[in-house]
């Protein structure tokens, strides 16, 4: 099992191009699974051919008894399923014992979203008379104006900005590239930031990187997370105020104003439409408004008059 695990981890790192963080998670989850199998069978090593569906279900039961949350259990089972699918494709095993094992049902929480008014107010919070303020404003405008992830923003390069067409190119998960339009406010914020960056920071560690600190070094994730959280705290008392809240707000506000779900899916870079559909639950205001305007039996302030037939 350990040799098969090393082979699988090499595959997801060098062929599937998973991130270092994801690979560490896979290694930890699958190592725990192999340790469980060795303890269950009282053996120092386990052959993948000997693993049965009952072993995997017992692993789920063990995690439930240990008090692990459903989401963590589902993640570990997903890793196990991916590994066994890989072993099946590569003829390491003849059948997949994990194929019929179901994860515990999850209660999917709705994403945290700012209102449109809160979002507009947020964009005005960074000062417009300093390098840091103009940089922060450009970052907030891009998060909300394009719905990009934190990693995508930090990896953004000057060559990815097309001001003439108002498009940015981002490299998302699985190294998937996509083009995203940006609006007037994001364009102005970017232009103002890049102008002051070139004037006040002549020595850049990497001139190709868009967002840097006051010493010319590329920004790192925690610094951006703390910055976004600091501004959001002035407007909202909700928990989990992170850059992803602006990505959630981007998608929700588009749907609220009538955008097609498939278009939002492409803008966000989601592989599955089901991932995007969670935002439809947040957009009930728009659905209720359409219903009240269109359905003849919906409650309305006034009803259209009907003409009496001529006698």
Does 196 score more than 90 pLDDT? yes
Q: pTM of the entire structure?
A: 0.62
Q: Which residue has the tokens 């439930």?
A: 64
Three-state secondary-structure class, residue 272: coil
Does 269 score more than 70 pLDDT? yes
| CB proximity list for 212: less than 8 A, separation 6 or greater | 197, 201, 204, 205, 206, 218, 219
The encoded tokens of residue 289 equal 């408004």
The encoded tokens of residue 5 equal 């695990």
Q: Give per-residue pLDDT as tens, 199-227.
A: 999 889 999 999 999 999 999 999 999 99
Q: Give per-residue pLDDT as tens, 129-147.
A: 999 999 999 999 999 999 9
The encoded tokens of residue 145 equal 């104006």
**In the prediction, which pLDDT does 295 show?**
79
**In the prediction, which pLDDT does 282 show?**
63
- Residue 56 in contact with residue 96, Cβ under 8 Å? no
**In the prediction, which pLDDT does 309 show?**
43
Q: Confidence band (pLDDT; 50, 70, 90) for 308? A: very low
- Residue 93 in contact with residue 102, Cβ under 8 Å? no
Listed in order, strand segments (DSSP E) in the chain are 161-162, 167-171, 177-181
Q: Give per-residue pLDDT as tens, 14-71.
A: 999 998 899 999 999 999 999 999 999 988 888 999 999 999 999 999 998 998 888 8
Three-state secondary-structure class, residue 179: strand
**In the prediction, which pLDDT does 307 show?**
47
Higher pLDDT, 289 or 294: 294
Sign of the Cα torsion 54, 59, 64, 70 reads: negative
DSSP string, 196-255: HHHHH----S-TTBS-B-TTSPBP-HHHHHHHHHHHHHTT---S--SHHHHHHHHHHHHH
Q: What is the mean pLDDT of the chain?
A: 89
Instruction: Please give the domain boundaries of the chain with CATH numbers for all domains.
Output: 2-89 (1.10.150.130), 116-290 (1.10.443.10)
CA 107, chain centre distance (Å): 18
Higher pLDDT, 197 or 173: 197
Give the whole-angstrom CA distance, residue 161 versus residue 176. Answer: 17
**In the prediction, which pLDDT does 290 show?**
66
**Backbone φ, ψ for residue 284 (5° rounding):** -70, -25
Give the whole-angstrom CA distance, residue 94 versus residue 51. Answer: 11
Mean pLDDT for 243-258 is 92
Q: Which of 79, 67, 86 is nearest to 103 (CA)?
A: 79
CA 103, chain centre distance (Å): 21
Burial 240-267 (b: 16+ CB within 10 A, else e): ebbbbbbbbbbbbbbbbeeeeeeebbeb
**Backbone φ, ψ for residue 262 (5° rounding):** -65, -35
CA 222, chain centre distance (Å): 16
Q: Give per-residue pLDDT as tens, 229-244.
A: 999 999 877 767 899 9
**In the prediction, which pLDDT does 172 show?**
85
Give the whole-angstrom CA distance, residue 103 versus residue 60. Answer: 8
Catalytic residues: 149, 173, 244, 247, 270, 279
DSSP string, 158-176: GGGEETTTTEEEEE-GGG-
């Amino acid at each position: 099992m350990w040799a098969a695990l090393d082979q699988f981890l090499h595959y997801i790192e060098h062929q599937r191009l998973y991130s270092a963080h994801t690979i560490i998670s896979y290694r930890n989850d699958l190592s725990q699974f192999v340790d469980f199998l060795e303890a269950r069978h009282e053996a120092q090593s386990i052959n993948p051919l000997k693993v049965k569906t009952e072993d995997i279900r017992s692993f789920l039961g063990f995690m439930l008894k240990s008090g692990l949350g459903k989401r963590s259990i589902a993640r570990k089972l997903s890793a196990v399923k991916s590994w066994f699918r890989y072993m099946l494709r590569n003829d390491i095993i003849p059948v997949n014992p994990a194929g019929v094992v179901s994860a515990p049902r999850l209660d999917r929480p709705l994403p945290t979203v700012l209102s449109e008014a809160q979002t507009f107010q947020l964009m005005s919070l960074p000062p417009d008379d300093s390098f840091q303020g103009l940089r922060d404003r450009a970052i907030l405008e891009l998060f909300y104006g394009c719905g990009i992830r934190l990693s995508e923003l930090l990896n953004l390069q000057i060559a990815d900005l097309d001001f003439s067409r108002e498009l940015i190119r981002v490299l998302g998960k699985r190294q998937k590239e996509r083009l995203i339009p940006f609006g007037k406010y994001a364009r102005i914020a970017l232009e103002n930031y890049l102008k002051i960056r070139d004037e006040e920071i002549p020595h850049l560690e990497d001139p190709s990187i868009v967002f840097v600190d006051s010493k010319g070094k590329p920004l790192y994730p925690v610094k951006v997370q703390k910055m976004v959280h600091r501004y959001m705290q002035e407007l909202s008392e909700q928990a989990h105020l992170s850059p992803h809240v602006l990505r959630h707000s981007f998608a929700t506000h588009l749907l609220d104003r009538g955008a097609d779900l498939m278009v939002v899916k492409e803008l966000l870079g989601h592989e599955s439409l089901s991932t995007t559909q969670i935002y439809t639950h947040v957009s009930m205001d728009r659905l209720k408004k359409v219903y009240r305007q269109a359905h003849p039996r919906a409650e309305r302030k006034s009803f259209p008059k009907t003409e009496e037939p001529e006698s």
